[in-house]
Homo-oligomer: A and B are copies of this chain.
Amino acid sequence: MIIVLKPDAPADSAERILARISDAGLQPLHMPGSERVVLGALGDERVLAELALDSDPDVESVKPILAPYKLVSREMHPHDTVVDVGGVQVGGSRFVVVGGPCAVETREQLLASGRAAKDAGATILRAGAYKPRTSPYSFSGHGPSALTLLREVADELQMPFVTEVMDTADLDLVAEHADAVQVGARNMHNFALLRAVGACGKPVVLKRGLSATIEELLLAAEYILGSGNEQVILCERGIRTFETATRNTLDLNAVPYVKRKSHLPVLVDPSHGTGVRELVTPMALAAAACGADGIMVEVHENPPAALSDGAQSLYPDQFAEMVQALRPVAQAVGRSL
């Protein structure tokens, strides 16, 4: 860690801060320059977080040298993690397609949509029992009964399924039914939930928050790994920017960036990442090309009748065409599908 003192810092402030660094067990460094005094602290910087040197009135800025995450870091754990979701490997050589409707509406709708996904090539089912909705007047999911339906239909289709949990109070029930639990974008900074899924015993799909930096996504994953669960799959699903032509701005830069910094597998969700049905397939192809381990895509047997996210849901034949188009792209980057 590098500590830059203010130009008008009193002469004894360097000594005082170096003593604190030393007391914390790190190696202190003094670099007096002509325009600024710079101090260094060598060692495990995470120890220094407690010191909060940036709150010292003589400190101008603090610049960390090491990444603030550890367990999720590729530097600490060089080999790719492969997560097993009910028998499907995420992060291996096979590009994974997760598909299904936004929400569980009825048994028929779920079965028809799930079967369409499976027939096209999807290997994991997705659908929501609890739906986060901006407006209290929107459909927010059928809750527990939808979990039961999901289990039944998934078993009938012989697909594992992932579904979102929004509250610690619902976690036991969700984890009991699902093959993997999802922490949604709006809950990426719900730290109680992160700790709870870290102890739930099921794989976790962690979606990037709408305004979360990549580093914050990795720190959120660090919460889960730190609570004992190494079965974490990250998911890029678009961030919030000034652009309004699309619902979100899918940040595919994040895919190769995360793959370099972390050993965890990465999915891409082009449905939420664009919010526009016609853009889902091209962005799914882009995701495969830049190194994602798979995609999560919404498909509905009848999008105009969907209770949520219909505008970004693919029709079954569009979903099938997308998977067809994905195969040669996945092969082009050395993956099977």
Interface residues on A, range: 35 or more
A331 on interface, CB distance cutoff 8 Å: yes
Residues of B within 8 A of A133 (CB): 191
Residues of B within 8 A of A210 (CB): 211
A119 on interface, CB distance cutoff 8 Å: no
Q: Answer whether A279 and B306 are a contact pair too, CB < 8 Å, given A135-B222, A168-B169, A242-B211.
A: no
Interface positions, chain A 184-212, Cβ under 8 Å from B, are 186-187, 189-193, 209-211
A177 on interface, CB distance cutoff 8 Å: no
Of B34, B42, B213, B256, which contacts A244 at CB under 8 A?
Answer: B213
Chain A 217-256, CB-CB to B under 8 Å as 1, else 0, gives 0010011001000000000000111111110011111111
- Would you call A242 and B240 a contact (CB within 8 A)? yes
Residues of B within 8 A of A254 (CB): 243, 245
A24 on interface, CB distance cutoff 8 Å: no
Interface positions, chain A 138-166, Cβ under 8 Å from B, are 138-140, 166
- Would you call B244 and A241 a contact (CB within 8 A)? no
**Which residue numbers of A lie inside 8 Å of B, CB to CB?**
2, 4, 7, 27, 29, 31, 33-36, 38, 40, 42-44, 46, 49-50, 52, 54-57, 63, 65-66, 68-69, 75, 132-140, 166-170, 186-187, 189-193, 209-211, 213-216, 219, 222-223, 226, 239-246, 249-257, 260, 273-274, 276-279, 282-283, 285-291, 303-304, 306-311, 313, 315, 325, 328-329, 331-333
